[in-house]
Amino acid sequence: MNVISKPEQISSPSSVVADGRTISATLASFAASFDLEKAPRQVIERAKLHILDCFGIALASTTFEFGQRAANALRGLAGEGGYPVIGFNMALPVRDQALLNGTLIHGLDFDDTHTDGVIHASASALAAAFAQGLRYEVSGADMMAAYLIGVEVSARIGAAAQGGFHTRGYHPTGLVGVFGAALSASKLGHLTAKQMEDAQGIALSQSSGNLEFLSDGAWTKRMHPGWAATSAITAAALAKEGFKGPSQTYEGRYGLFNLYLGQENSANLAMCTEGLGEVWELENVGFKPYPACHFNHAFADATLALMNQGLSADNVASVTAYIHPTQAAVVCEPLDQKRRPQNAYDAQFSIPYIVATSLTRGRFTLDELDSDAINDERALAIAANVDWQDDPETAFPRYYSGKLVARTKDGRTLEHRERVNRGSDANPLSADDITEKFWANATRAVSRSKAQTVYDEVMNLDSAEDVWPLARALSLAG
């Protein structure tokens, strides 16, 4: 396939940076001059909740097979290093630690999502900032600043694609996360603004992530943020030593958008830099109330709402989910497979499964991903009668809305719409909700007292002299 650049898009008013600089230069200038004092207090407090959420999920991931196998693989490959890993009695070299931590943060698909960018914004940014923070022995405030840089940059780049990456089969979390993480790593590595430009250009050659895992519930998506973080650390190290990267990382003839979106490129490049330091995209990053693809959440809540109307596992005849086709390609198709998932990851990307299991169990938690739940023939029989249709009233991509229409065995029709998915900026979880989620996740792996230590370290991170006490709290090493 020939990749054709579109000069008319690149030069249009909606596609250029206002001051004429390249996108990477503008992002580098923002990162180089940013410190935590420039962020509003509410953004700093919200960042703590996102970091707490990520670490709680990572601890829970260590109790799952994928987490154990990933840890074994990296320990066997890299050997011992100096950087403690979340939830394990082991330490790895810095890049391997970032890879494993990023995989653990994202591995349960329970981590936060920036809705416009359709990316898990925190996982790669935090994995890179945490690893580099330990390496350079920075303060907690500096690590938080680097984390915020990563989120703000990746969110904007993801949003600029306007859903195009998903449409072409790429996973934006991996594809885009490397750029924000490269600036996170560069900030803590004390790179100049020009070196940060090079780091982004180098990251372009490391940008990757695809959706083929949807075919069979494979584990590859879980590692995408970790790979972005370790690639980002590599890019920053090369750039710091003078290794040159291309300057038009995003808008170039073979830059990110023209290369990955091809002839259908309709990216709004101005969104990559719009509002930097004034509008905080972190406030548009939603927390997940359910351990499943964010596209499923409205349908889990809609199922519970229909149960309040009298729908039950015993009287349901069929259910139709109304959803945007872009979302349906991820969580509804191929329909036969989605109706009978083969493993937990398959189940997390299935609307038929989340509807049927929520209906039979009255909830959807990590416990609903165990083998007994996935093989529950009663739930699978309901899932076999769940289908989908295009939703003309969807709020996608701004919000992941959804509607269910259920028909009962006695001929009634029940319906419920979730206009805005719970956990998003327009329907947010409370701080108490997020804290309770942390306790539930963390205590699957560690004692309440150890989880309390992690909580305390995160909540005081902006005043911490260094981040090593946090690393020790998260590690199981003595």
pLDDT digit string, tens, across residues 1-58: 333 333 334 333 334 455 689 999 999 999 999 999 999 999 999 999 999 999 999 9
- The distance in angstroms from the start CA to the end CA of the chain is 54
Structure tokens at 214: 């949807």
**pTM for the full predicted model:** 0.94
User: What's the pLDDT band for 462 if we cut at 50, 70, 90?
Assistant: very high
**The pair of three-digit structure tokens given for residue 240, joined into one six-digit string:** 């710091």
Query: Would you give the DSSP letter of residue 20?
Result: S
Classify strands 386-390 and 316-323 as parallel, antiparallel or unpaired.
parallel
| 477 confidence band (pLDDT: 50, 70, 90) | confident
3-state secondary structure of 127: helix
Instruction: Return the exposure string of 460-477: e unless at least 16 CB atoms fall within 10 Å of the residue's CB, then b.
Output: ebbebebbebbbebbbbe
Contacts of 2 (CB under 8 A, 6+ apart): none
Q: Does residue 334 have a cis bond before it (omega within 30 degrees)?
A: yes
What pLDDT shows up at residue 5?
A: 36
pLDDT recorded at residue 397: 86
Kindly list the strands in the beta sheet with 316-323, ordered across the sheet, starting from the edge strand earlier in the chain. Answer: 386-390, 316-323, 402-408, 413-418
The per-residue pLDDT for range 278-315, each reduced to its tens digit, is 999 999 999 999 999 999 999 999 999 999 999 999 99
Q: How many residues does the chain have?
A: 478
Bridge partners (DSSP) of residue 418 are 402
CA gap 457, 440 in Å, rounded: 18
The pLDDT value given to residue 56: 98
The label of the residue with tokens 């923070």 reads: 133
- Tens of pLDDT, residues 204-240: 999 999 999 999 999 999 999 999 999 999 999 999 9
- pLDDT, tens only, 161-198: 999 999 999 999 999 999 999 999 999 999 999 999 99
Residues 61 and 40: their CA atoms lie apart, in Å, by 32
Per-residue CA distances from 166 to 101, 159, 285, 428 (Å): 25, 12, 18, 25
In percent, how much of the chain has pLDDT > 70? Answer: 96
- How many other C-beta atoms can be found within 10 angstroms of the C-beta atom of residue 206? 17
pLDDT tens figures, 65-103: 999 999 999 999 999 999 999 999 999 999 999 999 999
In this structure, are residues 428 and 408 in contact, taking their beta carbons and an 8 Å threshold? Answer: no
How confident is the model over 263-274, as a mean pLDDT?
Answer: 93
Joined together, the tokens standing for residue 139 give 């303060």
Query: Is residue 291 reached through a cis peptide bond, with omega within 30 degrees of 0 on the bond before it?
Result: no
Q: Give the pLDDT confidence score for residue 9 in this predicted structure.
A: 40
C-alpha–C-alpha distance, residues 260 and 256, integer Å = 6
For residue 451, give Cα distances in angstroms to 97, 139, 220, 457.
20, 22, 28, 10
Contacts of 223 (CB under 8 A, 6+ apart): 70, 99, 102, 103
* Count of beta carbons in the 10 Å neighbourhood of residue 14: 10
Predicted confidence band of residue 478 (pLDDT cuts 50, 70, 90)? low
Give 177's contacts (C-beta < 8 A, 6+ positions apart).
119, 120, 121, 123, 124, 125, 150, 154, 209, 224, 225, 228, 229
pLDDT in tens, 312-333: 999 999 999 999 999 999 999 9
pLDDT above 60: residue 422: yes
* pLDDT tens for each residue of 392-411: 999 998 899 999 999 999 99
